[in-house]
Amino acid sequence: MTNVSAPTAPGDFVHPALFYQGRAEYLAGVGGFVRAALAADEPVLVAVPGPRLDVLRESLDVAAAEVTWTDMTQLGRNPGRILAALQDFADRHAGRPARIVGEPIWPGRSRAEVLEATRHEALINTAFAGRHATILCPYDVLGLPAEVVSDARRTHPTVIAEGKDLHSPEYADASVVCADCDDPLPEPDGGAPRFAYASGELGEVRAYTESWARGTALSTARRGDLILAVSEAAANSLAHGGGSGSLRLWSTAGGAVVAEISDGGHLADPLKGRRRPSLASVDGGRGLWMIHQLCDLVEIRASDSGLTLRMHMACS
């Protein structure tokens, strides 16, 4: 069984990456982590891709009933939604050392999804600083590209490989990793026209989006989600992005719908939208939070001229 260092005092946060090869190492590492938590009477959340859930449940037998299970392919379809779910679990067990397994990157993830999941892994260290918790993140070293495994060494203070829990000398500050995730956004094939808007024209933005969305394969419900996400993004432009912005809409070859808002704004807090805003919050973030909940992928890029928010929504 792989031993994972646990917090030794209130305020300690432990965030190791588990590099595994095959089912046996997965069950030894993740299963051992879960069993140790249950033996210590600590709350456990396991958020891993669906097929891994079944394997782990079977190996834990009756003890599986004591674990909170989440299919990461659903929760983490948009990596920007994961952090809030992990924090919500820890908050529900305030005063106790929460144990969490989170596997946000699996074989088959797109390059854009991997970048946002890597950003998520880096921001965990900021978001959970001072929390009495352990988040174990498994990485399939046989199925994932070498650069993904390399980035895991940069986003986790410790790495577990071949049963050894070691300090990661490549560990980097979240701001450095997040900056490296800011690959230039690719232009849509064939381009996409820009719809400019300014103060007082939010209704026109909604109408333009609704008219365009009727020509896509989005269901009626998902068209409503798209209109709401675009409306929230445009409203942020008017309130915080200089009072104006532009919208582009297009469909991808893979059948997804993409909406892009560009304006003169800036995002000072990289955690905004990734953690649930409180009702008492005075610094906003609710719009971006809602956008993350509605969309299947959210990409944000900052430049000297402003901010670009790209929202992806699958048609199925």
List average pLDDT for each run of 10 residues in the chain, which is 316 residues long: 48 92 95 96 97 94 95 97 96 94 97 98 96 96 97 97 91 96 94 96 98 96 97 94 95 93 92 84 75 97 92 92
pLDDT at 143: 97
The CATH-assigned architecture of domain 195-314 is 2-Layer Sandwich (3.30)
Q: Which amino acid, 296?
A: D
* Confidence (pLDDT) at 261: 98
Alpha carbons within 13 angstroms on the beta-carbon side of residue 38 total: 17
Joined tokens for residue 218: 């989005």
| C-alpha to C-alpha distance for 14 and 302, rounded to whole angstroms | 30
The token pair at 63 is 């003890």
Strand ranges of the sheet holding 256-263, from the earlier edge strand across to the other edge: 195-198, 244-251, 256-263, 306-314, 297-303
Q: What is the pLDDT of residue 10?
A: 46
Determine the 3-state secondary structure of 92 from DSSP. helix
Q: How far apart are CA 290 and CA 228, in angstroms?
A: 9
Distance, CA of 208 to CA of 212 (rounded, Å): 6
Question: Which amino acid appears at position 257 of this protein?
Answer: V
Q: Which two tokens stand for residue 90?
A: 């820890």
Place of tokens 């948009």: 78
pLDDT of residue 8: 43
What pLDDT, on a 0 to 100 scale, did the predictor assign at position 217?
94
Given this model, what pLDDT does residue 63 score? Answer: 93
CA atoms of 2 and 256, how far apart (whole Å): 41
- Predicted confidence at residue 163, as pLDDT, reads 83
- Residue 164: left (phi > 0), alpha (psi -120 to 50), or beta? beta
Question: What is the distance, to the nearest Å, from the Cα of residue 307 to the centroid of all Cα atoms in its chain?
Answer: 19
For the chain, how far is it from start to end, CA to CA, in angstroms? Answer: 40
Contact indicator for 98, 90 with CB cutoff of 8 Å: yes
Instruction: Yes or no: say if 60 and 35 are a contact pair by the CB < 8 Å rule.
Output: yes
> Do 139 and 153 form a contact (C-beta atoms < 8 A)?
no
CATH pick for 13-180 out of 3.30.70.1070, 2.30.30.40, 3.50.50.60, 3.40.50.300: 3.40.50.300
Tell me which residue of 53, 49, 55 sits closest to 73, measured CA to CA: 49
Q: Are 16 and 124 in contact, with CB atoms under 8 Å apart?
A: no
13-180 against 195-314: fold identical: no
Domain ranges of the chain: 13-180, 195-314
Local structure of residue 262 (DSSP, 8 states): E
Interatomic CA distance for residues 274 and 70, integer angstroms:
18
Distance from C-alpha of 229 to C-alpha of 15, rounded to nearest angstrom: 32
Can you give the pLDDT at residue 267? 87
**Other CB atoms closer than 10 Å to residue 248's CB: what's the count?**
18
Half-sphere exposure of 296 (CA within 13 A, CB side): 18
Query: How many Å is the maximal CA-CA distance in the chain?
Result: 61
d(CA 137, CA 47): 10
Strands (E), 10-110: 13-14, 16-20, 44-48, 68-71, 98-102
